[in-house]
Amino acid sequence: MNVSDSEIVASILTDNGYENTPEVTLADIVLVNTCSIRENAEDRVRKRLHYFKSLRKKRPELIIGLLGCMADRTKTALMEEEQLLDLVAGPDSYRHLPQLLAQVGSGQKAIDTILSIDETYADITPVRIDSNGVSAFISIMRGCENYCSYCVVPSTRGQERSRDAGSIVRETRDLYEKGYREVTLLGQNVNSYHWKNGDEVITFAHLLEKVAQVSPMMRIRFATSHPKDISDDLLLAIGRNSNLCKAIHLPVQSGSNHMLGLMNRKYTREDYMDRIQAIRRIIPGCAISTDIITGFCSETEEDHLETLSLMEWVGYDAAYMFKYSERPQTLAADTLKDNVAEEIKERRLTEIIHLQQKLSLDNNRKEIGKTFEILIEGKSKRSDDQYFGRSSQNKVAVFTKTNAVPGDYVHVKISGATSATLLGEVV
């Protein structure tokens, strides 16, 4: 989401006469787009802001601004107490950036963190920042109303708002005509997408089918799904369309019903397993990835073992794994105690990571001998003689260069695997 938001900001500023520079030491304005979902992310932002402040010793006119999820909650500390900022803009205030920058230019501090009930930036064509020209992001909705007890998103991004489906289809078509061959539809919970056009109600399943019809050569991915909303209709739509990628990111967070209840996730372990079975039944060969939080409030060893057992039962292809860090302005911070010792969190996280590495390696080794259609994204980081790309299942493959170029599809036969990468040759 932050990449997508940054591209919207770049578009707004470009339309108002500003130019992007890749060299921060040449910039007159530095805007830091932020995430509050984990403490580590905020710590990195603070370090960057102190670095940018140090650049003012040589360039006193440098304007430093903070955007996104950290804006409202930290504006007083970062602007007034630590004197790190000239400008603060929340995620629904990006259209006002030219006016805010003008205010700073006249010698005043500028703040706008008001959340909107209808802002979707649907009419703005994003400037693709550092794009590979092959893959792009499209934001289809903003906000969240799930109120998971550990999460700051409802308070930092506001209520759910879906974009006009027609604008999403047009943006996809425009990207295809410019040579892009893959888009990822983004939202805090994409499968609660809901757009009403007269008497027509467009659900996420309907939207996927509309976007898929732009071209069979345009791959469609999406993130992130909430387990309580992933319907059979959605799965059937993916199964019907070959260019809807066979990979679903389905955050579980915990395998324990006790933890899921405290997290206010609105599903049980059994509900989640039912959705996994539906995916396996309706979309054979679909890759499944997840998010896991360990060490949440009052998590016991039994809760932890239930998470490990669910991981093994699902056999995830990949996972984002984190230890819990309490976030201000969340239900957990207000009503629950962060009472799992840090060393226990660390040990449990290590066990989860080790298990996932094994699962990923086992899954990737099962692909040896198979042939996949791979969309070439660019040169491998390890060798200029190799390309890398992804399968429909979102697995990275590395292979020897051919006459094909990034944006082309090639068929790659897999001959080896690590936990993170498939190795093969074009056939």
* Nearest-angstrom CA–CA distance, 172 and 180: 9
385-422, pLDDT tens digit by residue? 999 999 999 999 999 999 999 999 999 999 999 999 99
Is residue 394 within 8 A of residue 380, CB to CB? The reply is no
**pLDDT value, residue 342:** 97
Give the distance between the most distant pair of CA atoms in the chain: 65
What DSSP letter does each residue of 9-29 carry, written as one string?
HHHHHHHTT----S-GGG-SE
For the chain, the domains span 2-112, 135-365, 371-426
* Nearest-angstrom CA–CA distance, 289 and 225: 11
Q: What strand order describes the sheet that includes 318-323?
A: 247-249, 287-294, 318-323
293-313, pLDDT tens digit by residue? 999 999 999 999 999 999 999
| pTM of the full structure | 0.92
**pLDDT value, residue 210:** 97
The mean pLDDT of the chain is 95
H or E segment and range at residue 291:
strand 287-294
Specify the CATH number for 135-365; select among 2.40.50.140, 3.30.300.20, 3.10.50.40, 3.80.30.20.
3.80.30.20
Q: Give the pair of three-digit tokens for residue 314.
A: 């699902």
Domain 2-112 belongs in CATH node 3.10.20.30: no
10 Å CB burial of residue 399 (0-12, 13-18, 19+) is buried
The angle formed by the CA atoms of residues 219, 129 and 62, to the nearest 5 degrees, is 160
CATH class of segment(s) 371-426: mainly beta
**pLDDT value, residue 181:** 98
* Nearest-angstrom CA–CA distance, 243 and 240: 9
Low-confidence ranges of the chain (pLDDT < 70): none
**pLDDT value, residue 71:** 84
* Nearest-angstrom CA–CA distance, 275 and 231: 8
**pLDDT value, residue 256:** 98
* Nearest-angstrom CA–CA distance, 211 and 43: 38
Helices (H), 256-341: 257-262, 269-282, 301-314, 331-335
- Other CB atoms within a 10 A radius of the CB of residue 315 amount to 14
CA proximity to 42, closest of 341, 327, 322: 327
* Nearest-angstrom CA–CA distance, 255 and 252: 7
